[in-house]
């Protein structure tokens, strides 16, 4: 039976269980001109890691928190205007799962 406490953790608590290693730059980019054309912003809902959030300065575009990325690759397919470019992190970088 799974530990009941795991179901009560916040997203941030769960993401703390992963470690992100990168080379200093994000493996995710957003083309803001294309992002502005998307009215539904499904990226705000489909990403289980909460990588995409509305930009407080301009809600027509999204900001990226690449350190939350779980490398599922959903954003390669889930962005209707193809504004998101996602690539695998290079050379063994990326998400490292601490538990499991």
**Per-residue pLDDT for 24 more than 90?**
no
DSSP 48: T
Give yes or no for residue 79 having a pLDDT over 80. yes
Domain that holds residue 47: 25-90
> Is 18 part of any domain?
no
Which is higher by pLDDT, 38 or 6?
38
| CATH number of the structural domain spanning residue 72 | 3.30.70.20
Q: Please check whether residue 58 lies inside any domain of the structure.
A: yes
Give pLDDT, residue 1: 43
With respect to residue 68, please indicate whether it lies within any of the assigned structural domains: yes
Structure tokens at 9: 């953790």
pLDDT at 42: 94
Kindly report the pTM of this predicted structure.
Answer: 0.73
Count up the domains in the chain and report the number. 1
Whole-angstrom distance, CA of residue 13 vs CA of residue 16 = 5
User: How many CB atoms are located within 10 Å of the residue 96 CB?
Assistant: 10
Q: Is residue 36 scored above 50 in pLDDT?
A: yes
Q: Other CB atoms closer than 10 Å to residue 49's CB: what's the count?
A: 20
How many other C-beta atoms lie within 10 A of the C-beta of residue 82? 11
Instruction: Indicate the helix (H) or strand (E) that contains 58.
Output: strand 58-64
Give the per-residue pLDDT at 22. 64
14-23, 48-57, 62-71, range with greatest mean pLDDT: 48-57
In a domain, 97, yes or no: no
Residue 29's DSSP bridge partners are 85
| 16 inside domain | no
Q: Does some domain include residue 62?
A: yes
State residue 5's pLDDT score.
56
Q: In this structure, what DSSP letter does residue 67 have? A: G
For residue 3, tell me if it sits in a domain.
Answer: no
**20 in a structural domain:** no
């Amino acid at each position: 039976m799974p530990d009941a406490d795991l179901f009560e953790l916040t997203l941030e608590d769960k993401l703390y269980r992963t470690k992100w290693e990168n080379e200093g730059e994000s493996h995710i980019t957003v083309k803001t001109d294309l992002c502005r054309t998307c009215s539904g912003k499904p990226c705000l809902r489909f990403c289980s890691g909460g990588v995409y959030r509305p930009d407080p300065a301009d809600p027509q575009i999204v900001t990226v928190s690449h350190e939350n990325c779980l490398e599922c690759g959903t954003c390669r397919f889930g962005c209707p205007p193809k504004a998101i470019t996602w690539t695998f992190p290079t050379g063994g970088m990326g998400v490292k799962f601490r538990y499991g």
